[in-house]
Structure 1
Amino acid sequence: MKIPLLPLVLAALAAQAFAAPIPADSTITAATVYADRAVVTRLARIDLPAGQSEVTFAGLPVNLLDNSLQVTGRGVPATILDVGARITYIETTADPRVKTLEAELTALQRQDRALQDKLAVLDQQRALLFKIEAAVAQPAPKDATAPRPAFDDWQKLLTFSSENAARLATDRQSLDQQREDLALKTTATQAQLNELRGQRPGRRATKTVTVRVAAPQTGALDVTLAYALTGASWSPSYDARLRTEERAIELTYFGVVRNGTGEDWQKIALTLSTARPNLGGGAPELYPWIVDISRPAAARASASMPRGDMFAEKSNRDQNNAQAFNFVGLEGALGGLPAEQESSVSLAVLDTSATSASFKIPTAASIPSDNSAQKVGIATTKLDANLQYQATPKQLETAFLGAYTTNSTDFPLLAGPVSTFLDNTFVATSRLKTVMPGEKFSLDLGADEGVAIKRKLVNRFSEDTGFTSKTKRVTYEFLITVTNNKRTTERIVFKDVLPTSRDEKIIVKLLAPSEKETGTKDKPGREVTREEDGKLVWRLDLKAGEKREISLKFSVEHPADLTVSGLE
């Protein structure tokens, strides 16, 4: 008996076409965090049947970027045919923390509605009381036979009215206070809920990624799914400790990571990258700059339509470019964490490329999806430093310590806040600008009473000169005293300023230090240099316990009949 082959083939194809999808029980193994997004890697082991199968990764965040999906497999020989994503709407969220907060928010809203109902009842009672008072106060009609109320009756009515009015006012104040307390609790609960949702609208939706796979035989396949999603970020932070005995800065580089993606990262391989995928792969296109004769409003509106289409097209292209990014080091993220290497940088493993740097954190990291700031160590290194005191005694008679050093690491120090310490004492918080490898930079280490500086007005006198044309001259003399109370030789740099004339009739002359002692910006002096806008800069090297007195003397001359502003 011959069995027709075609129906069997069609039946087999139909069975494959309608085979139930295989749900992937996946876990997050790695995440590469950028300044405005993250690339998350999931791993799932699938028992594949022979033939074509659909593997589904359900419950993924709705902010997943579809065109960033990448899938690899290892195990039984298989071919990945297609990868796609779709939005799935759900009735309830799966996150138990979100469920708890949503339930608390609903309960608070119900309490507020109950209070509003009580307030409505009070308003009705108050309106009824007003009606009673108005009805009693109405004059009796002329044909009325009932006697007029006696004085005691009016007294009872007044008591009734005042007692009930007071009760209603007290009850209303109590209800208003309860509503205010509820509003505070509601705002706090809503804020926590927004944090967990990553500040995204509370739309109940997830994404499901479907992977179509063809395998010639049954077997286990380890499927790795990587995708980018918004809601994550990292920024740099630093601790800078000056070791005074060593004259060195111990710089610790941290990454402050925020995860608002909707997925908790538990014990994952974490990488922080300086790449900027949102900028796309190339420079933006330059468009013509059109200059034309001004036309009436109607003509200008019609003429501007093609230009608007052009910019709309540009906007669409820019949006597509912003999404069609390439992730530097994604292959490394899929492959897991490499072995730790020996380096003077002790915490993170550095991976550099032509355009960015990546820091692979050597220990497993756990970052909850609540948008809270989580600090992870990136690197720590020691930098030789030159110490120098800065002062502007005209403004403040205080010397501030600064450390000048060079970024001797192989990676850039990105702009971020710096907590500075003098040995083990916290000094201040400042901000570091971006410093590339080999670039010099400085750190402000706060005021130090070990170096004292004082500025005193010794003399100020005015005199009139000239016989035919009267000239007025005002001479100032200041004494600046600098004392090094440290046990070591220190460099002190302080600044002062001469008046700057904006009119040729006003002449400013520097009398002390002399012109010979004063250098210029192009040719600095041995101790003092005159810069632009009348600024004078002294650079002194004082031994331990040494004291120096600096004289600053200058004059301002102008015609006697000229009124000059700005003089002290």
Structure 2
Amino acid sequence: MKTPRLLLALGLLSAFLRLSAAPVDSRISAVTVYQDRAVVTRTATVQLSGGTAELIFAHLPQALNEQSLQVSGKGTAQASILDVSAKQTYVDYTPDARVKELEDQLKAFAKQMRGYDDRANLLNTQQAMLDRMEAALFALPTKDVPRPELNQFTTSLNFLIEQKSKLVTERATLDEQREELQNRANTVQAQLQELRGAGGKAFKTVTVRVAAAQAGSLEVALSYTVPGASWVPSYDARVASSERTVQLDYFGIVRQGTGEDWKDVALTLSTARPSLGGAAPVLSVWQLDLYNPIALREQAERSRRNDMMMAKAAAAPSVNMQTLTTNGVGNEADFELKDARYSSATIEAGATSASFKIAVSSSIPSDNSPQKVPVTSAALKAVPEYLTVPKRQTAAFLTSKVVNSSEFPLLAGAMNVFLDGTFVATSGLRTVMSGEKFDLALGVDDGIAIKHKRVQKFTEDTGLTNSGKRITYEYLITVQNNKKTMERVIVADQVPLSRNEKIVVKLLSPDAKDVKPTDEGTLKWTLDLKPGEKRELTVKFTVEYDNTVNVAGLE
């Protein structure tokens, strides 16, 4: 009976000896940034001697979402991934080196400020001593303390004046030093508050257990989701009026405070919004009943538990359980390095979103500072035209009708507009899909002269007994093209609308056959003006109403 027990003990000992655990040297190789989070991929190459091994990824961000862990790998060890686990470790120091540095600076500032406070207390003590000396010098003489001689009085008085002057100067210098130190401390404190969102005095450790059929190498990729990262689109639109084109430079403004610096990573910007969930919300039954606070609380609690269970199931961790027998390293895309101005991301369009793989490696520090990365640059055809509303402003605003002929969807974001190399406006771009039209507002162009004046306002009585009034309004709009090219100008004006049957508005000019007012009373002319051409437009209408009513809105 001893032999089987001995063999069992030797087998357990052999299995124990074959189980190895060691921290791995990993680096962040790829990051996908969403609007409110990021998926970080760490890679590490390890040598396995066969058997079961534990690969430990230490000092990961505290805010790491354990439900999002994903593991994959390739190598020659013919390894299988058994499981992945995460645990949180609390320490008595700050793991983030940048946060620790700022905390040390604040401690040094506090120590220096205490030194200034001690010096200020000493100056107050010296001031009190000088005040007592001054009081004694000017005190009335007594039997025990006679009046000092003149030279003694003069010497003491000069000493007091000199010492008090020194105190005033030193206090002023001390106040300046304290103010400067406080400003530096406030700056560091603001930076610290930005960075502390990544976590406190704790970090997470992820352990990946693998079983290797034989000795060999294995490249492991660990992916996890962290909050504290986001990106927004930004655009530079450069309009060449002579060429009638728009050079649209598309950028992503990336910020992150995840607690990890991203150095030379393959960066991807995704338009997906995982925070909204994968399916449309479900309508619950809308019930009316007598008010019962206890029943309402129980119902709300049941609904909350159901929502949490659905969210947990949707975010379950993913582990690649297949045997890994492929030789070589991971399948990262090879990125072609281009000039930053003209580099273009690779777009991967999904069923519900798009991902932009940035063409060059990127470095994003974990300090929430905005980092501008190029997405693409496209030359788009532009059809310029002018829009003017002389009644409101006697100016012609240049706009360009542009078609998004690129394959990239243009998400809503801020846009800087340059006209012939000159910055003219900051505006916003709405979301524009590929093939869709949009307008670029390019600001005022003085090459189109606009004038607007009221020619007449004539009031007369109407009716057999002068029971009504008629007011005739006439306006003249002048548009002149002072440019050397033919330009299209759209002119907008209006006539009032009556909301009461006792008020009648009649349009006299322009003829309704030529320009018909819209339901809102808007008049629009489309003018194609040759170089130097001038056009005059007349707006004339009457307003008739009964004397028994007071009309609001008349000019």
TM over 0.5: yes
- In the alignment, is the contact (CA less than 8 A) between 2:199 and 2:259 conserved in 1? no
Distance 2:543 2:147 in 1: 95
Residues in 2 aligned to 1:39 and 1:207: alpha-carbon distance in whole angstroms: 16
> Any conservation in 1 of the 2:198–2:228 contact (CA below 8 Å)?
no
Matched residue SS, 1:304 = helix
Check the 8 A contact 1:239/1:419 in 2, yes or no.
yes
CA distance in 2: counterparts of 1:389 and 1:14, whole angstroms: 81
Matched residue, 2:190? 191
Measured in 2, the distance between the counterparts of 1:215 and 1:274 equals 39
Letter in 1 for 2:332: G
CA distance in 1, matches of 2:286, 2:250: 44
User: Is the CA contact 1:237–1:418 (under 8 Å) kept in the aligned structure 2?
Assistant: yes
Residues 1:335 and 2:327 aligned together: no
Contact 1:280 1:325 in 2 (8 A): no
Query: Which residue is 1:83 aligned to?
Result: 84
Does the CA contact (< 8 Å) of 1:280 and 1:323 recur in 2?
no
Partner of 1:385: 382
2:37 alignment partner AA: R
Aligned length in residues: 536
TM-score (normalizing by structure 1): 0.83
Following superposition, the deviation at residue 188 of structure 1 comes to 0.6
**1:230 CA displacement:** 1.5
Q: Distance in 2 between matches of 1:334 and 1:285?
A: 41
Aligned to 1:9, which of 11, 23, 32?
11
- Give 1:324 deviation, angstroms: 5.1
Q: Match for residue 409 of structure 1?
A: 406
> Which structure carries more relative contact order (alpha carbon 8 Å, separation 6+)?
2
Cα pair 2:74 2:218 within 8 Å, conserved: yes
**Bigger Cα displacement from structure 2, 39-48 vs 118-127:** 118-127
* Structure 1 residues 495-526: Cα deviation after superposition (integer angstroms, max 9, x where no partner): 1122333333232222211333332xxxxxxx
C-alpha distance in 2, partners of 1:193/1:104?
10
Q: What secondary structure does 2:351 align onto? A: coil
In the alignment, which residue of structure 1 is the partner of 2:56? 56
Deviation at 1:486, TM superposition (A): 1.9
Contact kept, 8 Å, 1:30 with 1:334, in 2: the verdict is: no
1:279 counterpart = 2:266? no
Provide the C-alpha distance between the structure 2 equivalents of 1:323 and 1:190, rounded to a whole number of angstroms: 36
Residue 304 of structure 2 is aligned to residue 304 of structure 1: no
Does the CA contact (< 8 Å) of 2:398 and 2:442 recur in 1?
A: yes
Instruction: Please give the alpha-carbon distance, in whole angstroms, between the structure 2 residues aligned to 1:385 and 1:241.
Output: 11
User: 1:468-479 maps to which residues of 2 (within 5 A)?
Assistant: 468-479=465-476
1:553 has 2:555 as partner: no
Alpha-carbon spacing, 1:172–1:302, altered in 2? closer, same or farther (3 Å): farther
CA distance in 2, matches of 1:88, 1:362: 37
Percent sequence identity is 49
| Alpha-carbon displacement from aligned partner over 1:210-249 (angstroms, at most 9, x marks no partner) | 1111112222211111222122211111121222233222
Q: Distance in 1 between matches of 2:224 and 2:353?
A: 20
Matched letter for residue 70 of structure 1: Q
- How far apart are the structure 2 equivalents of 1:158 and 1:535? 87
RMSD (CA atoms): 3.6
Give the whole-Å Cα distance in 1 for the aligned partners of 2:39 and 2:107: 34
Say if 1:147 and 1:117 are closer, same or farther in 2 by CA, change over 3 A: closer
User: Closer, same or farther in 2 for the Cα pair 1:87/1:131, shift >3 Å?
Assistant: farther
2:94 and 2:200 in contact (8 A); partners too: no
**Structure 2 partner of 1:330:** none
Q: Equivalent residue of 1:436, what SS?
A: coil
Secondary structure of 2:182's aligned partner: helix
Instruction: Give deviations 1:253-305, integer Å, cap 9, x for gaps.
Output: 11112232222222222211111122222222322223234x4xxxx433322
- CA gap of 1:362–1:283, structure 2 versus 1, over 3 A, is same
- Asked if 1:246 corresponds to 2:243, the answer is yes
CA distance in structure 2 between the partners assigned to 1:334 and 1:511 by the alignment = 77
* Aligned counterparts of 2:121 and 2:286: Cα–Cα separation in 1: 64
Deviation at 1:312, TM superposition (A): 2.7
User: 1:452–1:485: 8 Å Cα contact kept in structure 2?
Assistant: yes
Aligned mate of 2:266, from 246, 265, 269: 269
Aligned twin of 1:426: 423
Distance change >3 Å, CA 467–CA 168, structure 1 → 2: farther
Deviations 1:330-353 (A, max 9, x none): xxx963115669xxx961111111
User: 1:134-149, aligned counterparts within 5 Å?
Assistant: none
Task: Supply the AA of the counterpart residue of 1:486.
Answer: K
CA distance in 1, matches of 2:123, 2:315: 58
Specify whether residues 446 and 273 from structure 1 end up closer, same or farther in structure 2 by C-alpha distance, changes over 3 A only.
Answer: same
* Structure 1 unmatched runs, 5+: 136-143, 327-332, 520-529
The SS at the match of 2:67 is helix
- Structure 1 residues 69 and 554: alpha-carbon distance in aligned structure 2, compared to 1, 3 A threshold: same
Letter in 2 for 1:401: L
Q: What is residue 440 of structure 1 aligned with on the other side?
A: 437
In 1, the alpha carbon distance for the partners of 2:397 and 2:413 equals 21
Structure 2 distance, partners of 1:472, 1:113, is: 83
Q: What is the aligned partner in structure 1 of residue 498 from structure 2?
A: 501
Q: CA deviation at 1:118?
A: 4.7
Residue 30 of structure 2 aligns with which residue?
A: 30
Rounded to whole Å, the distance in 1 between the matches of 2:449 and 2:487 is 12
* Residue identity opposite 2:302 in structure 1: M
Distance in 2 (alpha carbons) for counterparts of 1:95 and 1:73 = 28
Whether 1:41 and 2:41 are equivalent positions in the alignment is: yes
Q: Aligned to 1:180, what secondary structure does the other structure show?
A: helix
CA deviations over 1:426-484 (Å, ceiling 9, x no partner):
22111000112222211111111111111011222222233324222222211100011
- Name the counterpart of 1:524: none
Instruction: Give the deviation of 1:377 after TM superposition.
Output: 1.5
